[in-house]
Structure 1
Amino acid sequence: MIRQRITATTDPAAVHPGLAEHQSDMIRRCPYLGPSVDRGLTVWSAYDAEPGDQPGLFALLVETAEELRTARRESGPLACRNIAILDPEDSESARKIMQWPAWLARNLYAPVQLMVGRFWTGVELDDSKGRAMMPPPVSFFSLRNAIPSKDGLFLSEKLPEIMAILEQGPGDDGRDVFAEPLGRRVDDPASVYRELKGLFPPPSLATAG
């Protein structure tokens, strides 16, 4: 069962003592994150989860994405939401529990130009210039405005399917993101988690989870 640890805060150190340094490392690489942080538009929350909680994590991503869409209309494209997953702590368990919820949310929200990233504890990644990034001290999802011209290099190599949706999407036109894939309104995102897995099979991810 998903348990909330920390409600909305703009202080990453309140979530984990190593997150402030990690966020600073990301600011040096992303020209948009610094202004977002300076304006108090990057917000953190924190939860615990366990195997079997993937439908609940997906519902949490949908709830957060919809809140971010509202914030984006009010505050502009620098609004950002990060969701730390404090438990499980080991890298492989965190990767598995996050992969399907993130993949489904990416497909649903790419048409409205919202990016959903996932970073699990200790993952080693390079930035767009090939420089090693600081491994995150805690796992987290990151939701932000998509910038096709800036995200294109990463997406074209790692997630070409999402890049294609971003390029073709009209921007945030206020649509119900469930209307096209399911043809109906969804009040409980967790209830359609497995149905969506059948609609968006990821070719590049393991199907466990």
Structure 2
Amino acid sequence: MIRPRITATTDPAAVHPGLAEHQNDMIRRCPYLRPSVDRGLTVWSAYDAETGDQPELFALLVESAEGLRAARRESGPLACRNIAILGPEDSDSARKLLQWPAWLARNLYAPVQLMVGRFWTGVELVDSKGQAMMPPPVAFFSLRNAIPSKDGLFLAEKLPDIMAILEQGPGDDGRDVFTEPLGQPVDDPASVYTELKALFPPPSLATTR
């Protein structure tokens, strides 16, 4: 069962002392993050979770995504939500814990142009210029408005289907994201976790960011 540590803060250091430096490293690479942080629109939360909590993590992502949809209607496209996941003791455990919930949420929310990313301790990433990025001190999900021109730098190669949906999507038209794949709205996202895994098989869990 996942357990909340921090439900909302604009100070990443309140989640982990190393997250402020990591966020600053990301700010230097992303032109959209600095104005989001400066306006208090990048919000962090933190939860304890462990292997077996994936359905609950997926439900948490859905709750956060819906909150972000409401926030960007009010505040604009700079609204961002980051969810730190505390508990995994090594990089591989963290990667496996986050991969399916992130993949399912990514598929559900791409049509409304919301991007769902996952990062874990020890992950080695490079930016659009090929420069090494600072590994995060904790695993976390990142939810933000999709920027097809920016996201295409890695999605077009790794996840072309998701990239196509982001590019062609009508924007956030207020739809219930479960209605099209499942035929009806869903009150409890965790209850349809296994069903959605069958509907959205990933191209490769080993390479899906």
CA distances 1:32-69 after superposition (whole Å, capped 9, x unpaired): 00000000000000001111100000000000000000
Query: 2-side partners of 1:7 and 1:168: how far apart?
Result: 33
Query: 2-side partners of 1:185 and 1:11: how far apart?
Result: 34
Query: 2-side partners of 1:60 and 1:7: how far apart?
Result: 11
AA aligned to 1:135 is: P
Q: Percent identical across equivalent pairs?
A: 89
Query: 1-side partners of 2:144 and 2:89: how far apart?
Result: 24
Runs of 4+ in 1 over 4 A off after TM superposition: none
* Structure 2 residue matching 1:100: 3-state secondary structure: helix
Question: For structure 2, which runs of at least 5 residues remain unmatched after alignment?
Answer: none
Query: 2-side partners of 1:74 and 1:118: how far apart?
Result: 25
* Structure 2 residue matching 1:65: 3-state secondary structure: helix
Q: Could you tell me which residue of structure 2 aligns to residue 189 of structure 1?
A: 189
CA distances 1:1-20 after superposition (whole Å, capped 9, x unpaired): 10111110000000000000
- The 8 Å contact of residues 89 and 138 in structure 1, kept in 2 or not, is answered as no
* Structure 1 residue matching 2:136: 3-state secondary structure: coil
Q: Map 1:38-117 to 2 at 5 A.
A: 38-117=38-117
Query: 2-side partners of 1:30 and 1:129: how far apart?
Result: 12
Judge which range, 9-18 or 83-92, deviates more: 83-92
Query: 2-side partners of 1:22 and 1:89: how far apart?
Result: 19
Report deviation, 1:128. 1.0
Q: Could you tell me which residue of structure 1 aligns to residue 5 of structure 2?
A: 5
Give the TM-score normalised by the residue count of structure 2.
0.97
CA distances 1:150-171 after superposition (whole Å, capped 9, x unpaired): 1111101121121011112100
Task: Give the paired residue count.
Answer: 206
Q: Could you tell me which residue of structure 2 aligns to residue 20 of structure 1?
A: 20
Query: 1-side partners of 2:37 and 2:64: how far apart?
Result: 18
Query: 1-side partners of 2:90 and 2:5: how far apart?
Result: 18
Give the TM-score normalised by the residue count of structure 1.
0.97
Report deviation, 1:30. 0.1
AA aligned to 2:52 is: G
Q: Could you tell me which residue of structure 1 aligns to residue 144 of structure 2?
A: 144
Report deviation, 1:89. 2.9
* Structure 1 residue matching 2:45: 3-state secondary structure: strand
* Structure 2 residue matching 1:121: 3-state secondary structure: coil
Q: Could you tell me which residue of structure 2 aligns to residue 169 of structure 1?
A: 169
Cα root mean square deviation, aligned: 0.7
* Structure 2 residue matching 1:115: 3-state secondary structure: strand
- The 8 Å contact of residues 89 and 121 in structure 1, kept in 2 or not, is answered as no
